[in-house]
Amino acid sequence: MQTGKCHGSRMFARTIDKDTTKKIFNRFATVGINIIKPIEFKKKPHFQHRYSNHIKMASDILTFFIPLNVLQKCESATDRNINSGDRWLLKVNDDYLLIAKISRHSTGFSFILGEIVSEKLGIKKCSTIKFQLLKVAKYEDTKKKIIKEYVAGTDVKTLETNYPLGYASICKMLRAESIQLRSISDQEAIRFHGRLPVIRNDLSSNKLALIFAIFGDNAGSVNGKRFIIGIHAGKDLDFAQAFNKKFKDEYDIEPPIRQSNGYFRVTMNNKSIFHDLKQYAVFGSYSWKLLDNAWKIMENMDKIELGRAVSFFWEAEGCPIPKSKTIEATSVNLVGLKQIQKIMYKLGIKTTITGPNFIASSKGLYTIRVSGRKNIELFKELVNFLSFRKQEGVKRLLDSYKRIQS
């Protein structure tokens, strides 16, 4: 038996472990009725060997039918009737504390211990066990408090620590009351931001900007189970701040900006947001693209709105090239770059795509370019970069044209 921990969903612990016994008692703090004088009884278990659907194997089950006089004493001490689902805090042979679920049968009330728990409690199949009833938690009272706290934002793990029910029992209780269980990431949003994200069922320019930024500098999951959304912003804090603001404007919660060795990263783990973005786009390191439903919505966007959104892609992947007087972005994803080219065409900005360049990348690198004074001027007007550093680069490109003319 390990010390310092509660076992089996925190349902029992050794009495010599002060920390664990304190945790057991604390689980009854808001719903438990103290038995002023412990009710003692001794019982020999009714033994059954049966198949368990829970563990998918046969196991030994020990059933303890509660004597009638104990039931009467309990009802007298608590001034409440005994019901199925009530939790009793029992002391077992003075060595262990045990939270038992009381169940009603045609022959009376009982509680059950499985083979593994019985072994850890030192209970033998044919032995007579001494019990002391210390506290009683009424199921209906417990349910009301758990539902109230869960709706207010408390997560199931915390509820399991604060109430004498296991994780699975709490989830089953909430589902029975038609309460939608929150994902772990939504629970984290409540914990760190005080509220859930607002998911709007449309493709706004804010959401499109986030998608374009992730196309260029994805720092999150593609098909993982952690549902991380975010970008590597490099050394440009203004890019990280712009992404952060778009995220907050769209979802009403603000992802943290983290810095490491002078580089900025903006990420958040949230399943709802992850799936919201993925209904409009495919994300990946080497293959990313907008889906057809996104294109249909973009048809109704004006140039200013669309240009400000696609600027997030150019900030993530592009930069001004003074030597060739071009603005360039590179990727191994030709399909994705052709979609960017199509958007630039809608804005009236001509671009070219060259490649693949296998010297720069073994996967073949493609480059989309904006060149020529008129195209760069239109780029500056409708798109431009988000970071001051790259904005200055575009300004210098245009200034170089003026010097040549003079």
pLDDT in tens, 182-219: 888 888 888 888 888 999 989 999 999 999 999 999 88
Q: 101: domain CATH number?
A: 2.40.30.100
> Are 266 and 373 part of one and the same domain?
no
* pLDDT > 50? residue 394: yes
Residue 155, in any domain of the structure: no
Report if residue 267 sits inside a domain. Answer: yes
pLDDT digits (tens, 9 = 90+) for 264-292: 999 988 889 999 999 999 998 788 999 99
Residues 287 and 305 in one domain: no
pLDDT of the residue at 309: 97
Does 180 fall in a domain?
A: no
Compute the distance between CA of residue 269 and CA of residue 267 in angstroms, rounded to an integer: 7
- Give tens-digit pLDDT for 222-238: 665 678 899 999 999 99
What is the pLDDT, as a whole number, of residue 47? 79
Assess whether 38 and 134 both reside in one domain: yes
Q: Are residues 84 and 109 in the same domain?
A: yes
Same domain flag for 311 and 402: yes
CA terminus-to-terminus distance, the chain: 87
* 405 vs 69 pLDDT, higher one: 69
Establish if 395 belongs to a structural domain: yes
Helix and strand numbers, DSSP H then E, in the chain: 15, 18
Query: How would residue 141 be classed by pLDDT, with cut points 50, 70 and 90?
Result: very high
Within 13 Å, how many C-alpha atoms sit on residue 71's CB side? Answer: 17
- The pLDDT of 341-356, averaged and rounded, is 95
Predicted pLDDT at 3: 36
Domain-terminating residue out of 291, 309, 337: 291
Helix ranges (H only) for 279-369 are 292-298, 303-317, 334-346
Give residue 5's pLDDT band: very low, low, confident or very high (50, 70, 90).
very low
The C-alpha atoms of residue 56 and residue 320 are separated, in whole angstroms, by 63
Output DSSP code: residue 155. Answer: -
- Both 240 and 306 in one domain: the answer is no
Strand, helix or coil at 336?
A: helix
pLDDT in tens, 319-331: 999 999 999 999 9
Q: Which two tokens stand for residue 287?
A: 């293959």
Q: Residue 133 in contact with residue 88, Cβ under 8 Å?
A: yes
The number of domains in the chain is 3
Phi then psi for 69, rounded to 5 degrees? Answer: -65, -30
Residue 40 or residue 61, greater confidence = 40
Residue 285 is predicted with a pLDDT of: 78
User: Residue 90: which domain range?
Assistant: 12-138
Q: Of 257, 291, 325, at which residue does a domain stop?
A: 291
pLDDT at 56: 64
Residue 99 lies in a domain: yes
Together in a domain, 335 and 218: no
In sequence order, the β-bridge partners of residue 259 are: 264
Question: Over 50: is that where the pLDDT of 1 sits?
Answer: no
CA 85, CA 182: separation in Å to the nearest integer?
24
For residues 237 and 355, state if they share a domain: no
Residues 286 and 324 in one domain: no
Please say if the pLDDT value at position 55 is more than 60.
no
Q: How many CB atoms lie within 10 A of CB 99?
A: 24
Average pLDDT over residues 399-404: 74
Residue 86 CA to residue 89 CA, distance in Å, equals: 10
The helix (run of H) or strand (run of E) holding residue 295 is helix 292-298
How sure is the predictor about 9, in pLDDT bands with cuts at 50, 70 and 90?
A: very low
Residue 214's Cβ-count burial label (10 Å; 0-12, 13-18, 19+) is buried
pLDDT of residue 189: 84
Same domain, residue pair 285 and 307? no
7 is a domain residue: no
Q: Which amino acid does the sequence have at 322? A: P
- 376 CA to centre of own chain: 42
Mean pLDDT, rounded, of the chain = 89
Q: Which residue has the higher pLDDT, 313 or 11?
A: 313
Kindly state whether residues 101 and 215 are assigned to the same domain.
Answer: no
Euclidean distance between CA atoms 295 and 121, whole angstroms:
63
Predicted pLDDT at 287: 87
| Type of residue numbered 380 | K
pLDDT at 403: 62
Percent of the chain with pLDDT strictly greater than 70: 93
Longest dimension (CA), the chain: 107
Instruction: Inform me whether the pLDDT recorded for 4 exceeds 50.
Output: no
Is residue 158 a part of any domain in this protein? no
What does the pLDDT average to over 152-161?
88
> What's this model's pTM, rounded to 2 decimal places?
0.70
Does residue 167 belong to any structural domain of this protein? no
For CA atoms 200, 203, 205, 209, give the dihedral sign: positive
CATH number of the domain residue 324 falls in: 3.10.28.10
* pLDDT at residue 207, rounded to an integer: 96
| 138, 165, 188 - which closes a domain | 138
Query: Which pLDDT tens digit goes with each residue over 238-265?
Result: 999 999 999 999 999 999 999 999 999 9
- 261 shares its domain with 305: no
Tell me: pLDDT of 180 over 80: yes
Could you check whether the bond before residue 356 is cis, i.e. omega within 30 degrees of 0? yes
pLDDT attached to residue 64: 92
